[in-house]
Structure 1
């Protein structure tokens, strides 16, 4: 650190820190010129993710190895990502030829010992992050210091929880919207059924003779009602499947996924040389099972952006008979007229929560060859009663005796929200 001694008062021996020299500093990775070294260091971290303090700790840089590294960067012009992937004790700048300095290099005049002070002034404490606690947007005075790793881990947890919460909110919104649409559809059906039908001459048929014709018209409307829903109305539903989190939950459910796998692979004789449609393919796990079972071709359809990851997954696993179609099935023209088999993970929470049943029915009607197969094609819902006496006492029985007072009238409110 550059310092000057104040000799005017020998008793105090005061030290005054010299002001930072304002020599222009050229960025190590681009043409940006910064007025001071502090700003240059901050620019490298923010724009290139090159954290000089972190690099110093990771590679245990001393003055000589720091000089070598700077000269190496200026001569060889590596990208900042190289400093994240380099491992071991032998680094590209280890050669002594990099001790030869580049003329007028401001970075070489920087004293590494000043780095901790710069980071401290920037609020990171050199090795960590200082966090000021706030309440209702106002500082409450308590400061907590975290290491960089702790801060990043905490930030990652917050991001994951935020994403999961957003997914749950979207799913709930979609479920509520689907329920309302279903109610409206059935209200319309009932209303039309109750109206007397009329023939071509306008004569009203009250005896029900025209009822069959009316029901047939209603049936046709219901069969195509899913395709009449706009993509915008369904977008929140599809967005929930664009994030990796929900796919991690499904794939890590070993009972669920292994059941699909076994059903497909153990029926390889049925899959062999068949054209398969994977409806809502997600990460393409069912498509890959079908391909492995001997399918001639697999058409994988999904509206969510996860389909782009699925393409990479299939390419990574060297599978060449899977064709991807991004879009909602009801709005998309498939590259084949008919398929032999439809596979889909349409079973959700409490069997029907995924809300895909209407799309599966649409796919069956529009694309499944006569005599074709849907997997899975059978299901049942079983409900078993369960009671937790300990939890009941904790939340309900609690009000019977509260410090010697009977507050059992509160039970009604608690049960209403249970």
Structure 2
């Protein structure tokens, strides 16, 4: 996997790292997963893939790792080296500026830590680089942190958000731009959706074991069923992800769903072409297909086909989205 210079350079700016570090759910979950399990890290060799400012490397060192290799392909590593030295960890952490695919290490590693997740889990498509590191540098029986990942769908009736994102095109300061509506639907919105706007059951459409999965598993087609929990006007299908750390004394999960504390990943909203009135217990069925965009390796192409046969409406369509 090779990334464009623009993608690499975007991670050299402090703003994106500030956003991630200030995400307390994200940062504290990784901190707990590592520091609460020193028996797994003590005297071990750790590889931090896409280390950024190196906070996961610092956690691993403080958990007792013998050596930590902190790898990133952006110039942020200049700051990472300063952070490592500022915290007196330079004898444990070695910072390396390199693409993972070009990485040369003096030894295999016991543990790989990485915060590789993007919107809807796979956006930015960093996971193949993590799997490359696993296949080339992780010892047999070595551990992945996190080691499980999953993607989930549910229905959403946030009419206010739909009006903000789509309906305003009908009158933009007196100019009719309604032709933009179908175009804007094709780009999923990234927003925090209050849990009271979730109107259906949830459905798991992807489950990954990061110890064993392959890059082929990241291109997937999955059927889904969403059953109405109450009468509602369905506006969109909402996507989110979970990652889990199950190697430690207590299993730990980072859940980006609307029922949990908000994160910088928010939720991914696939607006439908039309609102669907649903009665309690009625069923929306469909199939979702996800693959990497052929022209931009960071983007995802998502096709969502749905069918609904209810008391008040009959709907079916195939919608295509591009998550950038």
TM value normalised by structure 2: 0.51
Question: Which deviates more from structure 2 when the two are superposed, residues 350-359 or residues 246-255?
Answer: 350-359
Counting only pairs closer than 5 Å after superposition, residues 356-375 of structure 1 correspond to structure 2 as 356-375=126-145
Cα RMSD between the aligned structures?
Answer: 2.6
Q: Deviations over 1:278-325 (max 9, x none)?
A: 111110100000011111110111111110101101111111211111
Counting only pairs closer than 5 Å after superposition, residues 360-399 of structure 1 correspond to structure 2 as 360-392=130-162, 396=167
| Partner of residue 300, structure 1 | 70
- What is the CA distance between 1:268 and its match in structure 2? 1.1
For the 8 Å contact 1:344–1:375, the answer to whether it is kept is yes
| Partner of residue 55, structure 2 | 285
Counting only pairs closer than 5 Å after superposition, residues 156-305 of structure 1 correspond to structure 2 as 226=1, 229=2, 234-305=4-75
- What is the CA distance between 1:368 and its match in structure 2? 0.4
| Partner of residue 417, structure 1 | 184
CA distance 1:244–1:393, shift in 2 (3 Å): closer
Gaps of 5+ in 2: 186-324
Paired residues, what number? 181
Gaps of 5+ in 1: 1-225
Looking at structure 2, the residues matched to 413 and 309 of structure 1 have their Cα atoms a distance apart, in angstroms, of 42
Counting only pairs closer than 5 Å after superposition, residues 128-143 of structure 1 correspond to structure 2 as none
Q: Provide the secondary structure at the position in 2 that maps to 1:381.
A: strand
Looking at structure 2, the residues matched to 379 and 353 of structure 1 have their Cα atoms a distance apart, in angstroms, of 14
For the 8 Å contact 1:247–1:282, the answer to whether it is kept is yes
Looking at structure 2, the residues matched to 414 and 267 of structure 1 have their Cα atoms a distance apart, in angstroms, of 50
Counting only pairs closer than 5 Å after superposition, residues 344-363 of structure 1 correspond to structure 2 as 344-363=114-133
Looking at structure 1, the residues matched to 77 and 168 of structure 2 have their Cα atoms a distance apart, in angstroms, of 51
Instruction: Identify the structure with the greater strand proportion.
Output: 2
| Partner of residue 10, structure 1 | none
Residue from 78, 83, 96 that aligns with 1:325:
96
Instruction: Identify the structure with the greater helix proportion.
Output: 1
| Partner of residue 334, structure 1 | 105
For the 8 Å contact 2:169–2:180, the answer to whether it is kept is no
For the 8 Å contact 1:325–1:334, the answer to whether it is kept is no
- What is the CA distance between 1:398 and its match in structure 2? 9.6
Looking at structure 2, the residues matched to 410 and 250 of structure 1 have their Cα atoms a distance apart, in angstroms, of 35
Looking at structure 2, the residues matched to 340 and 293 of structure 1 have their Cα atoms a distance apart, in angstroms, of 14
Looking at structure 2, the residues matched to 397 and 322 of structure 1 have their Cα atoms a distance apart, in angstroms, of 51
- What is the CA distance between 1:332 and its match in structure 2? 2.5
- What is the CA distance between 1:353 and its match in structure 2? 1.4
| Partner of residue 267, structure 2 | none
| Partner of residue 255, structure 2 | none
Counting only pairs closer than 5 Å after superposition, residues 22-37 of structure 1 correspond to structure 2 as none
Looking at structure 1, the residues matched to 94 and 125 of structure 2 have their Cα atoms a distance apart, in angstroms, of 24
